[in-house]
Structure 1
């Protein structure tokens, strides 16, 4: 799950500290772009590692002034306590950037949250000093939609660099046109999962999807099943038959949909409508034979998956939900990588 969605959801305040992994050497628990928020009272939102350096980062953040930034390199390779007192032995090193939020940066994050909620990806570019603190930054949706505290020359060069895939890969890159290092990272909207059917087996799927960073929508024609008490982790609940809900629903090309009403006619109605949409993934719970009947014997399109989930021998609602989410996570990681390279 991308921590940034958790962080933006709590609405960072002035005097909170945003921490970001900006460089990774070797192997590490998380990658470049991983964020964590240290709230003013010391509470942590998100994680930067497996728990071995969060407390040290929190203590270092206490000395920052509002609007100030600073970075620290953690050698995670050492197996003793000589480097910085943990002996993690993780065969890697990471550089963490700390930025104490002030009024302008709080506004920048609010704008990013708004764009992400609207389904837009945001590229963040931070110009780094020789000590890897931030001197200028810009947030970019496209060449006509950007904001930040970067000067005109910096912004102009960054907009040109968006066309270069290698230069905009997550991490620190030296930019000759600016004679400095910059940190690049794309933040993407939450992937959206639409679950059609609110039966008992949809409950663990909704929970695991929510916990792993998906925005979850549940739809069913039975109010007794499709309610907040049954699905507390769902973002949206829509009550009605597929023929009633789908015409007014705004589908996105990267949406994931699971059909699990266990009602043949309802699944058939839903599938008939969904096949006309350019969706990333349509999963159908049930056997291949049942899916074949739903399709009227026609060949499955590439975006229709049946049976759903990775083949791990899953049995029961919880295990099946885990196998489905493993498949969705695997596919979504591929989508994000492809999207980043296509947009730049």
Structure 2
């Protein structure tokens, strides 16, 4: 979701400067293609670009193709395959094959309406779906919807997604190509992308490690929440990149965050009065990752306290303690890197399971 917001904001900036734009979307891949389907890049009419669909293999060609799409105001679908020739030949040296949809995004009221609806969903952290239609007649037409209704459509008025399709979207959380049933009884091929709110990283303890962890996590698209009752630590001056800063005790604010499987809870305060309530709230929730920082003695003390509070070994097995991948880190920035690397590893393993 954050990546799409950045692309939209980039195109809005181009529009304000008098430039038209286009969005390229990776809709199919096979073999060892470098990026997953659903990746996007934005291109301007003056050859600016934001994002990528192939790690540099075909971006130069897409820049050129996008100019035709912009000039003709016509979506284009292009296939790219393997190339083992020079670096100047367009192709994927990794041996994969990809299909890329390039859609013009002109300066228009329709574009403004579409962007407004997308940004509204993103601002409110509400998931949504975007359908890109792929048949020749409707190539590049879009429908934006959530689990309940259509929010935007530039298909002809006689065409609309069947309500049963919208109701059945709940379990479709991966980008893919599908045949979409319409209300007129026909099916149209489309590429569906599911946009979810940013993954949340909740950091308990606002020390030096948390500063580096926040900066790194924001680069990777996380929404970061800092919790520490010590207001001199939990401040905007120390955490200008954080989305939310709560100078409160964990037990007074963590339950209201409604921790979810996509969230990560990092407990790095070094203070038992702060750590233990956060650990217990995390264990009571369905949060996807719980990590605890501390020496062997500190970890043992926390585990003993949790067992005395009634937690079983099976519950405590959820804890990542020691926290982070073992890369021999002692400096704050490297510890932050190790923590975030472990979170990403867990996320990717869960996704592929």
Common fold: TM-score over 0.5: yes
User: Quick one: structure 1 residues 337 and 88, their matched pair in 2 at CA, closer, same or farther if it must change by over 3 Å?
Assistant: closer
- Aligned-pair CA distance for 1:85: 1.9
Tell me the equivalent position of 1:209.
Answer: 217
| 2:271 counterpart of 1:260 | no
| 2:337 counterpart of 1:332 | no
Does the CA contact (< 8 Å) of 1:71 and 1:132 recur in 2?
no
After superposing the two structures, state which structure 1 stretch, 117-126 or 300-309, moved more: 300-309
Tell me the equivalent position of 1:6.
Answer: 6
Does the CA contact (< 8 Å) of 1:28 and 1:92 recur in 2?
yes
Q: Using structure 2 for the length normalisation, give the TM-score.
A: 0.80
CA distance in 2, matches of 1:321, 1:264: 20
Return the match for 2:302 from 281, 287, 291: 291
Tell me the equivalent position of 1:321.
Answer: 336
Unaligned stretches of 5+ residues in structure 2: none
CA distance in 1, matches of 2:78, 2:138: 9
Secondary structure of the residue aligned to 1:218 is strand
Unaligned stretches of 5+ residues in structure 1: 339-344
User: Quick one: structure 1 residues 2 and 31, their matched pair in 2 at CA, closer, same or farther if it must change by over 3 Å?
Assistant: farther
CA distance in 2, matches of 1:221, 1:166: 39
CA distance in 2, matches of 1:312, 1:245: 33
CA distance in 1, matches of 2:346, 2:30: 26
Tell me the equivalent position of 2:22.
Answer: 17
User: Quick one: structure 1 residues 117 and 290, their matched pair in 2 at CA, closer, same or farther if it must change by over 3 Å?
Assistant: farther
User: Quick one: structure 1 residues 166 and 231, their matched pair in 2 at CA, closer, same or farther if it must change by over 3 Å?
Assistant: closer
| 2:245 counterpart of 1:237 | yes
- Aligned-pair CA distance for 1:87: 5.6
User: CA offsets, 1:26-52, max 9 Å, x none?
Assistant: 221111100112245543222222223
Q: What aligned pairs does 1:78-97 form with structure 2 within 5 A after superposition? A: 78-81=83-86, 85-86=89-90, 88-97=92-101
User: CA offsets, 1:103-138, max 9 Å, x none?
Assistant: 32342233223223333222211221249932x321
Does the CA contact (< 8 Å) of 1:168 and 1:184 recur in 2?
no
Tell me the equivalent position of 1:342.
Answer: none
| 2:32 counterpart of 1:27 | yes
Aligned residues: 334
CA distance in 1, matches of 2:269, 2:291: 12
CA distance in 1, matches of 2:302, 2:59: 48
| 2:231 counterpart of 1:250 | no
After superposing the two structures, state which structure 1 stretch, 105-114 or 256-265, moved more: 105-114
CA distance in 2, matches of 1:110, 1:332: 30
CA distance in 1, matches of 2:278, 2:132: 45
CA distance in 2, matches of 1:49, 1:108: 26
Tell me the equivalent position of 2:146.
Answer: 141
Return the match for 1:224 from 228, 232, 250: 232
CA distance in 2, matches of 1:269, 1:318: 26
Task: Decide which structure has greater helix share.
Answer: 2
Does the CA contact (< 8 Å) of 1:205 and 1:322 recur in 2?
yes
Tell me the equivalent position of 2:192.
Answer: 184
